[in-house]
Structure formats: C-alpha cells, structure tokens
Amino acid sequence: MRGNVISSALIPALIFGAASYAHGSAPERWVEARSTHFVVLSDSSEKAARHVASQFERMHLVFHTLLPTPSDDSGPPIVVVAVKDRKGMQALEPESYLAKNQVDLAGFFLRTTDRNYILVRLDAQEEHAYSTVYHEYTHYMLRKADNWLPLWLNEGLAQFYENTDIDDKAAWLGEANAKELQYLNRNDLLPLKTLLKVDTASPYYHDEEKGSVFYAESWALTHFLIVSDRLQGTHRLHDYSERLAKGEDSVSAAQRAFGDLDKLQAGLNEYLMQRKFMYFMMTADLAAKDAEFRVQPVSTVEADAVRADVLVNTGRRIDARELLDGVLRDDPENALAHETMGFLRYREGDFAGSKKWYGEAVKLDPQSYVAQYYFAMSELRGGDTGEDATIEASLRAAMRLNGEFAPAYDALAMFYAMRDRELDDAHAMNLRAMELEPGRLSFRLDCAAVLVEQRQFADALGVLQAAMHVAKTPMEVEVVRGRIAWVGTYQTATAGARAKERGLGGVGQ
C-alpha cells in the first residue's frame, strides 16, 4: 500500500509499462526510436521502443524540473539499450554481475568519457525495477554542481528519486525507502552539523558501518525537507542550494536557510517516528509527443556496433572484440566500430593501433568529435613530437564539432603546457573544461599544473584546495594532497634557485 500522497499537476507523469511487450510475438530484429533527449535501441517491437522513449522523456522532464540544480541539455542524447529479457541484459552488463548470487540487474546507468548509456530489461516487473537507473540519472543531472553540492544532499536526492515509478497516467516520486527507515529506527542519527560537513575524506562516507548512517540520514533529511517545503509552501532547500552555489559553507548555509539546526534535528527525529510517509504524484499527458519520435528499423550490424561499445565500457573487451570482428566483416565502413576498436587499442596502451583505427574513423565520419579527439590523443600519448600540427588541428576540430566536449579543451591545454607555449591560452582552456565539467578532478589537477608552469604558485594551490571538495575517494584525496605538497616544495625550490642566481650575479659584479 502506498503512503500519503502529495498531488501535483506541475508536470508529466511518473512504473515502466513495458513488461507487456516482452513476451509477445515481437519480431527478431532491432528498432530505434529517437526522442529529444534519448535514443532507444531495442530488440523488441517498434511499439515497445516508442513506449520506452516516451517514459524516459517523462523521467527527464520530471527530474529536470524538480531537482534544485537542473542540468542543461547540452550533451548528446543518452542511448537506451532496451532488451527483451534477462539473457539480453547478461550479454551486456559488467561481468561482476554475472557471478553466482549477484543481483539480477533490471537497469544499469553507464557514464563514459563521450557517451552515456542506460541498459534496461523490458520484462522487469519487480517494484522499483529501475531504481539504479534513476539513482545514477539523478547524479548525472547534478553533475555540474559536483564542486559545491555537499555529499549529503547529492546522495540524498539520488535516493529520493531512485524509488520513482512511471506509468502512462502518473508519476510517483519520493516513496519512502523501507530499508533506510528500518536502519534509522535501530540506530542513532548523526548530529546535523556532522552530517552537513561529511566530505570525501570522512570515515562516514567510506566506512561500511558508518556509511550506512550517512546514506540513511542523508535520504531522511532530504525527504523531510522536500515534503515539508511542499506542505508549508516554503523553499528552504532551494535557498540552501543557492547559498552553496555562491560559495557559502554547508553548515552556515543550512543555518540561514533552515534555521536552528537543533530544532531541525528534533523535527527530523519526530518525522522518522511516523508510520506513513508522503510522496508526490504528478499527472500529465505526453502521449501527443510520442508522434514526434522518429522510429526506424536498425540492422543487426548497426545494433552490434552499439552493443560492442557498451561492452568495451563495461570491461568486457573479449566479448566486444568478437562483436566488432563480425561488424567489420559485414560492414567494413562502420564508423562506430572503427571508433570502438580504436578505443580498445587505446585502453590497451597500443597507441599506434588506436591512431590507425581512429584515423580511419575520421575519414569515415569527419563530423565525429570523438574520433578527432582520440586520434589526437593517440598521437600525443604515442610521443611523436613530429605530429604536433596534426595533434593541435585534431583537438581544435573536436572543439569546433562539439563546443561542450570538455576533454578536448583539457587535452589542448596540456599539449601546450608540455610544449611550454601559449600558456595563457592553455589556462583559458583549463577554465573552460572545469566550467563544462566541474566535477572532473583531473581537469583541476591539470589546471594547477599549467599555473605551476606559469609560476603562479598561489593560484595553483588555490585550485588544488578547491579540488579537495571534488575528490570522491580516499585515493583521490591523497592524490590532491600529494599535489599540494609537491607544489609547495617546487615553489620553495624555485624561490631558492632564483635567490641563488641573484646572489651569484651580485658576486660576479
């Protein structure tokens, strides 16, 4: 039984109804449905592909409207691979899920450098079958706030939206997480000041037992604030987010937006004692938009090229290579297969091989910014300084073809730094890369490296201190700390060398 419902007619509706398509007489072929933000590739029927595209567009609109920091739509469409059954999912999912007693995946969100994939099973019927997809999609939508959004709210929002259900008539959001409630009813909450300050270096984020407290309470506080804001007509969570975006620290922003934190803690404790929890129902009819979707049959070769790219990025290189061999045999000019084969070689450290494949991919599809980027990176990683003009031209081509592709800006910045030229331009490109992907730690480390080349040590240390908020694992935290120590040591050594030079100059005079 569902809990209390907060009804709203703000936007579209929110249980995939695709299960009925999985068991019929669906033809053994692939079909593609293109919507505004998604490309659905399915081995089921045209009707099923269109339905999944419609459902994901509903998801996008709901999440994009309700999240306190909605992402823009500048990236390429997300590719949804919608397979009929468990066998189809097992052919694509990471090998770790294929082991005995592992979870039976119904959905999976896969983020890569240049593409994003969602894998779904059309025969999934359990409650909240796509919770993993919704959880990770929330993180994807929040990606441009990674540098200022505190961990508790980032994880709390992902857990709030993971129990989303979508059907043809309504959207159900924020259903209470029974597992987290059970945990919180048996354990004490963290003081809110502690929760608000948890970062990537905190044991509450990484330790398994303490982590349970952090995740459970993050969900509870987020749920409490969203529901109470709706009931009371307030916008405290929005105000809190705005203060954070302006650089205010998490605790100070909370005190100003939420008021007395002791009272908030008492309110949260009381909230968790109730037996029923409110959630949101949203209604809207997007059926008319279904007619705008472009639906067309897709050959097995084209589908296998996409599936091979998924397999490379889930770590199943042998399976990917087997598929690619078949694609290239039947369609020697398949540009995506050339790109994927190039990426295989690139990941294996065979930069001469990846350069060959990406070079052919560029010829087959000159508009592929991905091929241009990796062709340049293959030459750069191969260490051939005689190809500098080609490297620069290819990276600029990638930037021209997709002005939102941050890795190309970062790569050209580091190319200039390695050659000790155009360092001002390099720094500008560092800034653009960080603007496009503020949560990418490597871009911040590269920016600091360019500033060190310019002998701007204070600015470099400032960038690295800010990078501590972006580091997500203990290893990343240690990398940043090591880089900070290195900059300090290098700065001292440089100052000493300059002082020595000035002293020798004085003696000579």
**What pLDDT shows up at residue 253?**
95
Question: How many whole angstroms separate alpha carbon 440 and alpha carbon 470?
Answer: 7
CB atoms within 10 A of CB 338: 27
Question: How many whole angstroms separate alpha carbon 350 and alpha carbon 389?
Answer: 22
Question: How many whole angstroms separate alpha carbon 229 and alpha carbon 146?
Answer: 24
Do β-strands 78-83 and 116-121 pair in parallel, antiparallel, or remain unpaired?
Answer: parallel
Question: How many whole angstroms separate alpha carbon 291 and alpha carbon 363?
Answer: 35
3 state DSSP class of 280: strand
Q: Which residue has the tokens 């051939």?
A: 384
Looking at the DSSP bridge assignments, the partners of residue 108 are: 119
Q: Which residue has the tokens 């694609």?
A: 327
pLDDT in tens, the chain (509 residues): 344 443 333 323 333 333 333 333 333 589 999 998 899 999 999 999 988 888 888 888 877 777 766 666 666 789 999 999 999 999 998 888 877 666 677 888 898 888 899 999 988 877 777 888 888 888 888 888 877 889 999 999 999 988 888 776 777 888 888 888 888 888 889 999 999 999 877 888 766 666 688 999 999 999 999 999 988 999 999 999 999 988 899 999 999 999 999 999 999 999 998 878 888 887 755 554 555 788 999 999 999 999 999 999 999 999 999 999 999 999 999 999 999 999 999 999 999 999 999 999 999 999 999 999 999 999 999 877 778 999 999 999 999 999 999 999 999 999 999 999 999 999 999 999 999 998 899 999 999 999 999 999 999 999 999 998 888 788 898 999 999 999 999 999 888 877 777 766 554 44
| 187-195, Cβ contacts within 8 angstroms, sequence gap of 24 or more | 187/212, 187/213, 187/216, 189/213, 189/217, 189/220, 189/265, 189/268, 189/269, 190/214, 190/217, 191/265, 192/221, 192/254, 192/261, 192/264, 192/265, 192/268, 193/251, 193/261, 195/152, 195/221
Question: How many whole angstroms separate alpha carbon 407 and alpha carbon 396?
Answer: 11
Q: Which CATH number fits domain 403-491: 1.25.40.10, 1.10.1740.10, 1.10.3720.10, 3.40.1440.60?
A: 1.25.40.10
| CA-CA-CA-CA torsion sign (310, 93, 17, 282) | negative
Q: Minimal CA–CA distance to 128: which of 166, 94, 182?
A: 166
Contacts of residue 12, Cβ cutoff 8 Å, sequence gap at least 6: 57, 58, 61, 62, 171, 282, 284, 285, 286
Question: How many whole angstroms separate alpha carbon 160 and alpha carbon 421?
Answer: 48
Contacts of residue 342, Cβ cutoff 8 Å, sequence gap at least 6: 353, 354, 355, 356, 357, 358, 361, 371, 374, 375, 378
3 state DSSP class of 170: strand
Strand residues in 144-293 grouped as ranges (E): 165-166, 170-173, 279-283
Q: Which residue has the tokens 């592909």?
A: 49
Backbone angles phi, psi at 396, to 5 degrees: -70, -35
Q: With the CA atoms of 487, 492, 493 and 499 taken in that order, what torsion angle do they form, in degrees rounded to the nearest 10?
A: 140
Domain limits, the chain: 1-128+163-175+280-298, 177-276, 403-491
**What pLDDT shows up at residue 412?**
97
Q: Minimal CA–CA distance to 474: which of 205, 240, 79?
A: 205
Burial of 474 (0-12, 13-18, 19+ CB in 10 A): middle
Q: Which residue has the tokens 């650089």?
A: 247
pTM of the model as a whole: 0.80
Q: Minimal CA–CA distance to 409: which of 462, 447, 354, 365?
A: 447
Question: How many whole angstroms separate alpha carbon 148 and alpha carbon 151?
Answer: 9
**What pLDDT shows up at residue 433?**
96
DSSP for 351-362?
Answer: HHHHHHHHHHHH
Question: How many whole angstroms separate alpha carbon 80 and alpha carbon 381?
Answer: 32
**What pLDDT shows up at residue 452?**
95
**What pLDDT shows up at residue 208?**
63
Burial of 383 (0-12, 13-18, 19+ CB in 10 A): exposed
**What pLDDT shows up at residue 322?**
95
Record the tokens describing residue 246, joined without a space. 């302006």
